[in-house]
Amino acid sequence: MPYISLKLVEGRSIEKKRVLVSSVTEAVCNSLEITPDNVRIELIELKSDLFSIGGELVADRKQDS
């Protein structure tokens, strides 16, 4: 049973998260030949002021959703 942790910067809508977990589940099922009820996905939202890219806080960068 795959357990997948996905980290993303907070702020995406629930609709985008639904699309994400559906797409990842489908890809895992196709790759491993398993059913969706065997796939676990954990979304971990990172606060933009506690995560950096290239030495710059994400909160200080222009967001590209």
Q: Give catalytic residues, as residue numbers.
A: 2
Rounded CA-CA distance 45/51 in Å is: 10
Question: How far is the CA of 48 from the CAs of 19, 43, 54, 62, in angstroms?
Answer: 22, 15, 14, 11
